[in-house]
Amino acid sequence: VFSRDVSCIPYYEECQKTADWLLSRTKHKPKFAIICGSGLGMLAETLQDQEVFKYSDIPNFPQSTVQGHVGQLVFGELKRKACVYMQGRFHMYEGHSLYKVTFPVRVFKQLGVETLIVTNAAGSLADSYKVGDIMVIKDHVNFPGLAGYNALSGPNDERFGPRFPSMSDTYDKDLRGLALDLSIKLGYSHFVQEGVYCMVGGPNFETIAEARLLHKLGIDAVGMSTAPEVVVAKHCGLKVFGLSLITNQVLKEYGSNEAVNHEKVLEISKKRAGILQDFVTELVAQINSNNTN
């Protein structure tokens, strides 16, 4: 379930076939790919001149099974920059292999994408964060990856990247700086944070003991995605930028009547998607004007 079958699927060719299929059907040549987190599909609404491809029509593409993940690629222009939005990501807990979870990222690379922007819904462990805050991801802890469930497990194809890639500078420093400057210009600085995201396997939310453990480890926000996509993006040379929307506080004390559920996560995502949308749009515009990419 977790990694690519070692019998050497012609993986590069499979990704290329999917990329060629898309390129022959869209006039856009995206330099940016944006992955929409849970309930954040509407981030794609600001795209001009849209072309939409349902996952079910795209060769080799997995299917979304989670509520709040529509299941389509949307190509278009954001401030005159060609982009592709993934409305609906794939999670390990859905039973997808990590090869399938990260397949779109490699397709993006073969489409000519240079920068990957990941978004997600996450629970906060940091005491200072509030529901509705946006966290610029500084770094991540890939718990499944540390335990051997890594998207790069299996035979390595050097055409994508090296066997042992460095991950010490994964979330692009210039883009993070740009985003934090932008948050001041947009008047967002009181709800924009910078911190460490941790991926857990899910699909259950954390126990109190698990939450306390993650908190002790210095993790600011926890979710069930992102790390595999980011590891694969870094492996194949994409610039990476990430935003977590804080949809809930993770309970660290026993005896509370509050409990998180996916509906509450989607409710906050829906409320804050507009702000996130403006943030991403302005960031892409700035990357243009500052020649950061």
Ligand X SMILES: O=P(O)(O)O[C@@H]1C[C@H](O)[C@@H](CO)O1
Q: Which residues bind ligand X (CB under 6 A)?
A: 37-38, 66, 89, 91, 120-121, 202, 223-225, 262, 265
225 binds, among ligand X, ligand HPA, none (CB under 5 to 8 A by kind): ligand X
Angle between helix 173-185 and helix 262-290 axes, rounded to 10 deg: 100
Question: Per-residue x/- mask for ligand HPA, residues 82 to 121, rule CB under 6 A?
Answer: ---------------------------------------x
Specify whether 86 is catalytic. Answer: no
Closer of 94 and 110 to ligand X (Cβ): 94
Specify whether 91 is catalytic. Answer: yes
Minimum distance of ligand X from residue 225's CB (angstroms): 3
Minimum distance of ligand HPA from residue 223's CB (angstroms): 4
Minimum distance of ligand X from residue 89's CB (angstroms): 5
248 binds, among ligand HPA, ligand X, none (CB under 5 to 8 A by kind): ligand HPA
Residue from 98, 122, 182, 284 in contact with ligand HPA (CB under 6 A) = 122
**What's the 3-state SS for 83-107?**
EEEEECCCCHHHCCCHHHHCHHHHH
> For residues 88 and 119, is the Cβ–Cβ distance under 8 A?
no
Rounded CA-CA distance 66/84 in Å is 20
- Backbone dihedral region of 112: left (phi > 0), alpha (psi from -120 to 50 degrees) or beta? left
Q: Beta partners for 140?
A: 197
Closer of 41 and 161 to ligand HPA (Cβ): 41
Helix ranges restricted to H, the chain: 11-23, 98-101, 103-111, 143-146, 173-185, 208-216, 227-235, 262-290
Residue 196 found at the interface with ligand HPA (CB under 6 A):
no
Residue 227 assigned as binding residue: no
Rounded CA-CA distance 149/98 in Å is 8
Rounded CA-CA distance 246/217 in Å is 19
> For residues 48 and 78, is the Cβ–Cβ distance under 8 A?
yes
Q: Which residues are annotated as a binding site?
A: 38, 69, 89-91, 121, 206, 225, 248
Q: Which residues are annotated as a binding site for a purine D-ribonucleoside?
A: 206, 248
Positions marked catalytic: 38, 69, 91, 93-94, 121, 224-225, 248, 262
